[in-house]
Amino acid sequence: MQLKDSEPGIQIIADVIRKIFFREPSGHDWWHIFRVWKMSKHIAREEGADETIVEAAALLHDMQDEKLDHVKKIDIEELLLIHKFSSHQIEHILKIISEVSFRKNQHNPHVTSIESACVQDADRLDAIGAIGIARAFAYGGFKNQIIFDPEKPESTSVQHFYDKLLLIKDHLKTATGRAYAEKRHEFLLTFLQQFRSEWNLQS
């Protein structure tokens, strides 16, 4: 699967990443990366950011994540050098990757460029809405974490919605990202309301 109007180097990097992440089981599979690639390219176009930098960083954004230590690691710099990225571009891409992590940078991660804002917003958008809900429970299952416990809600997947997912919309960095977040945020609220009402019926 490719995106329209991408540089040849980007297409090849996408093929490399697809093979590595294809069946990753914690919600960071290739299709997460594909959605972040596509959404961040779209945001970059709307915001007037450098699309090639954004695409490369989006494709590589989960490559250095320490929680994905089951994923084969590759040398990002080498991969970018082979595909004719300059040292200046590589430095920028590595900076974006270091800024994108949700966990490390908590709720309101700092960004130092518009390109970084595009990738970060696209990654955050994939954690909310219907896809975000699916990913949260996939991640919970992967970590042997239960769905919900009314007696001990901490360390459950539903608690993660209150701790992180509901805060995303107010910390997005681009106007384009914020516009997409509205409906997805509403959907999280609808889901939680329905979840709670079903739970109460059963207790």
Give residues with Cβ within 8 angstroms of 8, minimum separation 6: none
- The correct pick among 41, 42, 92, 135 for binding ligand ADP (CB under 6 A) is 135
Q: Which residues of 100-116 are buried (b: 16+ CB within 10 A; e: fewer)?
A: bbeeeeeeebebebbbb
Q: Is 123 in the site for ligand ADP (CB under 6 A)?
A: yes
Distance CA 95, CA 112 (A): 8
Closer to ligand ADP at the Cβ: 92 or 184? 184
70-89 mask for ligand ADP (x: CB under 6 A)?
--------------------
Tokens for 139? 């991640």
DSSP per residue, 21-70: HTT-TTS-SHHHHHHHHHHHHHHHHHHT--HHHHHHHHHHTTTT-GGGTT
- The residue range among 87-95, 97-105, 183-191, 194-202 that interacts with ligand ADP, by the rule CB under 6 A, is 97-105
Closer to ligand ADP at the Cβ: 11 or 145? 145
Closer to ligand ADP at the Cβ: 13 or 36? 36
Q: Is 121 in the site for Ni ion (CB under 5 A)?
A: no
- Looking only at residues 138 through 157 of this chain, which bind ligand ADP when binding is defined by CB under 6 A? 139-140, 145, 157
